[in-house]
Amino acid sequence: MPIKESDSFCIEGTHLLEESIKAGIIPFKVIATSDWLAKNNSKKTIFDSSLINVVSQNALASAISTKNPDGVAALVHRSSLMDFSLDDKDDLILVLDRIQDPGNMGNLFRIALAAGVNKILLAGGANPLSPKVLRSSCGSIFHLPFKRIEGDEENIIKKLLNSLKDFNKKGFQVILTAGASKSAEITLKPYWELNWQKPTALILGNEGSGIHNTIKEAFNETITIPHNELVESLNVACVAVPLLLERGRAALTSK
Q: Name the nearest CA neighbour of 241 among 194, 204, 193, 215.
A: 204
- CATH 3.40.1280.10 maps onto the chain at 92-253
Kindly give the interhelix angle for 236-253 and 102-115, rounded to the nearest 10 degrees. Answer: 10
| Pick from 144-148, 181-185, 245-249: least confident | 181-185
Instruction: Report how far residue 110's alpha carbon sits from residue 104's, in angstroms, rounded to the nearest whole number.
Output: 10
What is the reported pLDDT for 164?
98
Mean model confidence pLDDT for the chain: 90
Please, which pLDDT band fits residue 45 given cuts at 50, 70 and 90?
low
What is the reported pLDDT for 3?
43
What is the reported pLDDT for 48?
73
pLDDT-above-90 percentage for the chain: 74
| Pick from 43-57, 79-93, 135-149, 239-253: least confident | 43-57
Please, which pLDDT band fits residue 173 given cuts at 50, 70 and 90?
very high
Is the pLDDT assigned to residue 116 strictly greater than 70?
yes
- Angstrom CA distances, 246 to 46, 75, 121, 234, 250, stand at 39, 37, 20, 17, 6
Among the four given CATH numbers 3.30.1330.30, 3.30.70.20, 3.40.190.10, 3.40.50.620, the one describing domain 8-80: 3.30.1330.30
Please, which pLDDT band fits residue 5 given cuts at 50, 70 and 90?
very low
What is the reported pLDDT for 94?
98
What is the reported pLDDT for 4?
45
Q: Where are the alpha helices (DSSP H) in 118-235?
A: 131-137, 153-169, 213-218
pLDDT tens digits along 55-99: 999 999 998 998 888 999 999 999 999 999 999 899 999 999 999
Average pLDDT of 200-213?
A: 95
Is the pLDDT assigned to residue 143 strictly greater than 70?
yes
Which residues pair with residue 190 across a beta bridge? 224
User: What does pTM read for this prediction?
Assistant: 0.91
Is the pLDDT assigned to residue 125 strictly greater than 80?
yes
What is the reported pLDDT for 2?
42
Please, which pLDDT band fits residue 6 given cuts at 50, 70 and 90?
low
What is the reported pLDDT for 181?
63
The residue ranking higher by pLDDT, 3 or 211, is: 211
Among the four given CATH numbers 3.30.365.10, 3.30.450.40, 3.40.50.300, 3.40.1280.10, the one describing domain 92-253: 3.40.1280.10
Give the strands of the sheet with 200-204, arranged side by side.
146-149, 119-123, 92-97, 200-204, 173-177, 222-224, 188-190
Q: Which H or E run contains 77?
A: strand 72-77
Average pLDDT of 216-229?
A: 91
